[in-house]
């Protein structure tokens, strides 16, 4: 368990941030992979992404290809929901955030320079993600001269924690408007 009914919101906040930071630091941590929901044209769109960093200003950073659907969706409507789940600790974290898309700017270039060469290849595909293929071999063509590397930074507006427990579920919300002061909610 991450939180108990004896914990105060002030005690829970650093535990929560520490757990999110572990998702960045430990490749096997359940918070490493999160579900990202965006507002698509006709339906909400949901997909898994990899948490790459949490900045000092609490931005959650992910990488993607500029041509992916999530980029155009977030440029059009920059509101997103992020969902984390830790199966061992039985805790769910939901984040409502505003997204900023960075492609080719200094923010993105800093991350690009830090990528290992073998990871850079993932952002140099000749074909955009989701392009229909005649066979899987068509999806392995790379353009080493051009990259579509993009960084999406999510600035949280609210972070909700739901602790599942046989003794009774616990739920609380932290929000930017209250300077991240936690409030208990009905589970």
CATH code, 125: 2.30.110.10
Residue 138 inside a domain? The answer is no
pLDDT (tens digit per residue) in 23-39: 999 999 999 999 999 99
What pLDDT does 67 receive? 97
Q: Which domain holds residue 90?
A: 9-129+145-185
Q: Residue with structure tokens 């977030």?
A: 74
pLDDT digits (tens, 9 = 90+) for 116-166: 988 999 999 999 999 999 898 888 888 878 999 999 999 999 999 999 999
pLDDT for res 150: 98
Does residue 150 lie in a domain region? yes
Confidence at residue 187, expressed as pLDDT on a 0 to 100 scale? 96
Residue 184, token pair as written in the block? 């208990």
pLDDT of residue 143: 83
pLDDT band of 85, cuts 50, 70, 90? very high
- Of 146 and 70, more confident: 70
Domain count along the chain: 1
Name 141's Cβ contacts closer than 8 Å, sequence gap at least 6: 125, 126, 127
Stated pTM of the model: 0.95
> What average pLDDT does the structure give for the chain?
96
Q: Does any domain span residue 156?
A: yes
Residue 65 pLDDT exceeds 90: yes
């Amino acid at each position: 368990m991450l939180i108990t009914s004896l914990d105060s919101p002030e005690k829970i906040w650093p535990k929560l941030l520490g757990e999110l930071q572990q998702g960045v630091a430990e490749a096997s941590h359940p918070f490493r992979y999160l579900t990202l929901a965006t507002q698509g044209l006709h339906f909400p769109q949901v997909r898994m992404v990899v948490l790459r960093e949490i900045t000092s200003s609490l931005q959650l950073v992910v990488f993607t290809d500029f041509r992916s659907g999530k980029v155009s969706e977030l440029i059009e409507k920059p509101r997103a929901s992020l969902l984390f789940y830790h199966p061992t600790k039985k805790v769910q974290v939901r984040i409502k955030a505003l997204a900023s898309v960075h492609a080719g700017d200094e923010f993105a270039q800093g991350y690009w320079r830090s990528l290992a060469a073998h990871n850079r290849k993932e952002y140099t595909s000749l074909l955009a993600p989701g392009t229909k293929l005649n066979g899987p071999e068509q999806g392995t063509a790379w353009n080493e001269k051009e990259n579509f590397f993009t960084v999406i930074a999510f600035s949280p507006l609210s972070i909700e924690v739901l602790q599942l427990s046989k003794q009774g579920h616990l739920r609380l919300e932290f929000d930017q408007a209250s300077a991240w002061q936690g409030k208990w909610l009905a589970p």
